Amino acid sequence: MTGAIQPWHAPALVRLAELRARGNWPHALLLHGKPGTGRRDFARAVAAALLCENPPAALQACGSCVSCRLGAAGSHPDLKLFRSAWFEHVEGDADPADAGADEGEGAGKRLSREINVDTIRRLADFAAIASHRGGLRVALLYPADAMNHVAANTLLKTLEEPPPGLVFVLLADTLDRLLPTVRSRCQAVALAAPDATAAAAWWAEHGAGRDAAFLALADQAPFTALALAQSPIAATAARLHDALADPAALDIPALARSIETELRRADRDAPRSAAAFAADLGTVVGWLQGWIRDLIGAGSADSLRYHPARSAQLARLAGRTSLHRALDYARWLTEAARHARQPLGIALFLEDCLGRYVALFGDA
């Protein structure tokens, strides 16, 4: 369970190591940054360093002491993860002793991305007990911005009276959705995302020869790109984009039905793997959003963020609709994306998305 530090996170680590060396370590750390960029590994590496019994330098773990070995095995009694049911499922290493660890699981049931009050109560229970190994204790919580209101207020009580020796490490996508009172009790540290060059270098080493187009599609978030490239719906992405490139030939009901079938199959065949990141209707709507964003960009000579390899296709499409209509559709998608997680009929929902897209190129 020890994490690797990615090169783009090195400055944040230096900053934290300085805090640690100066004896200025906060009791609650709030790490925030873009998903799919190695943030959880960073948080775990920080936790390992805090627990290490023989640290070679400030905020470094030796890797060989009892604490480091327990941490690597995922069984350090002074380190506990508090996650949404969805993350527990995807990461597949939930502590079976945790009540509620299997919450939301079961055939066909969607796992909650929300952190509810039960999880925070377990955190409070953990906070109340003494250190097993006599050192610091670490409670790692993510995604902290997915706490519901009751959960956040319950956490606040524990943050307001921090038990001695306990370090909270909260991990969030963004600070906007966090309760300001929770935010103000934490030391916030931004975790940078890799730029295109750093992401490409990472892909050359870890992408196993897969198409680098996945990196652009995932907006340079390397772990999202790899999860997608390895997922059963990787081919769905290419097929969707080929279809979007030729709206006149797009068979809306057939494409919507086949995407629904592929999503359901991916869910069933690979529920507990990196694929779970990708096998999600929200991801498909995200692809549509990325496509329309680049189409708008192609019309205004912007650089293409998600589909640099399809610039000619996108420029042609941009010439066949108006900026006004494309922007309207983008706005509609943004709204639709909010409801995309659990629609009643996936195919019907996608038909709506695709139908409105094809209409962009018809007569006004």
Minimum CB separation of residue 54 from Zn ion in Å reads: 5
Of the ranges 24-32, 39-47, 65-73, 254-262, which one interacts with Zn ion (CB under 5 A)? Answer: 65-73
Is residue 228 within 8 Å of residue 70, measured between CB atoms? no
Taking the C-alpha atoms of residue 112 and residue 361, their distance in angstroms, rounded to an integer, is 38
Q: Which is nearer to Zn ion, 62 or 315 (CB)?
A: 62
Q: In the bound complex, what is the minimum distance in angstroms from residue 133's beta carbon to Zn ion?
A: 11
Give 12-25 as a 3 state SS string: HHHHHHHHHHCCCC
Decide: is 65 part of the binding site for Zn ion (CB under 5 A): yes
Q: Kindly tell me which of 68 and 178 has the beta carbon lying closer to Zn ion.
A: 68
Nearer to Zn ion by C-beta: 61 or 346? 61
| Angle, CA of 32, 37 and 39, to the nearest 5° | 45
3-state helix, strand, coil in the chain (%, to 5): 55, 10, 40
Is residue 72 part of the contact set for Zn ion (CB under 5 A)? no
Indicate whether 337 belongs to the interface with Zn ion (CB under 5 A). Answer: no
Nearer to Zn ion, 61 or 263 (CB): 61
What is the x/- site pattern for Zn ion, positions 118-157, by CB under 5 A? ----------------------------------------
**Binding residues for Zn ion restricted to 8-47, rule: CB under 5 A:** none
Residue with smaller CB distance to Zn ion, 62 or 348: 62
> Binding residue for Zn ion (CB under 5 A) from 68, 171, 259, 263?
68
- Taking the complex as a whole, the smallest distance from the CB of residue 63 to Zn ion amounts, in Å, to 6
What binding mask, one character per residue, do residues 42-61 give for Zn ion by CB under 5 A, x or -? ----------x--------x
Q: Which of 104, 111, 92, 90 is nearest to 278 (CA)?
A: 90
**Does 217 help bind Zn ion (rule: CB under 5 A)?**
no
Q: Does residue 62 interact with Zn ion by CB under 5 A?
A: yes
Task: Supply the minimum distance, in Å, between the C-beta of residue 53 and Zn ion.
Answer: 6
Query: What separation in angstroms does the CA of 278 have from each of 86, 149, 175?
Result: 13, 28, 24
Phi and psi torsions of 133, nearest 5°: -105, 5
Shortest distance in whole angstroms from residue 10 CB to Zn ion: 20
Q: C-beta of 77: minimal distance to Zn ion in Å?
A: 15
As beta bridge partners, residue 190 has: 32
Q: Smallest distance, Å, CB 4 to Zn ion?
A: 16
**Rounded Cα distance, 109 and 252, in Å:** 27
Burial of 195 from C-beta contacts in 10 A (0-12 / 13-18 / 19+): exposed
Give 327-346 as a DSSP string. HHHHHHHHHHHHT-SS-S-H
User: Which tokens sit at 82?
Assistant: 């508090």
Binding residues for Zn ion (CB under 5 A) = 52, 61-62, 65, 68
